[in-house]
Amino acid sequence: AQTVTQSQPEMSVQEAETVTLSCTYDTSESDYYLFWYKQPPSRQMILVIRQEAYKQQNATENRFSVNFQKAAKSFSLKISDSQLGDAAMYFCACHSGGGADGLTFGKGTHLIIQP
């Protein structure tokens, strides 16, 4: 069984600034993947970034990067140069490596971008 905890229900950041969204997880699996998904007001989930647990290097996708601390079971998302289009719900999720089950999601963080 896996659990994912997002302790920030809402975060606000000024446009062009940097914001970090927190996520902690727990899993008994040794092989797993971690994801950040974005859900804009239209509600279609979009993958932002993923991290394989066996990789020590933190994943980066343009303005999005993660800080993966495996021992602490922490997986935070950093958004640099925030843009108005980044406003959305952000969900942290965990998935076992075998893929024989669904994603386990946190409750989400509502990100507000102040112009």
Partner 1 sequence: DTGVSQDPRHKITKRGQNVTFRCDPISEHNRLYWYRQTLGQGPEFLTYFQNEAQLEKSRLLSDRFSAERPKGSFSTLEIQRTEQGDSAMYLCASSFSGAGHNEQFFGPGTRLTVL
Q: How far is the CB of 84 from partner 1 (least distance, A)?
A: 22
The two counts, helices (H) then strands (E), for the chain are: 0, 12
| 37 close to 104: Cβ distance less than 8 angstroms | no
For partner 1, which residue of 7, 16, 46, 70 counts as binding (CB under 8 A)? 46
Residues from 7 through 36 that contact partner 1 (CB under 8 A): 33, 35
Q: Is residue 21 left, alpha or beta, with left meaning phi > 0 and alpha meaning psi from -120 to 50?
A: beta
For partner 1, which residue of 18, 101, 112, 114 counts as binding (CB under 8 A)? 101
For partner 1, which residue of 23, 91, 111, 113 counts as binding (CB under 8 A)? 91
**Residue 94's closest CA among 59, 40, 50?**
50
50 binds partner 1 per the rule CB under 8 A: yes
Residue with tokens 């406003």: 87
For partner 1, which residue of 30, 42, 56, 57 counts as binding (CB under 8 A)? 42
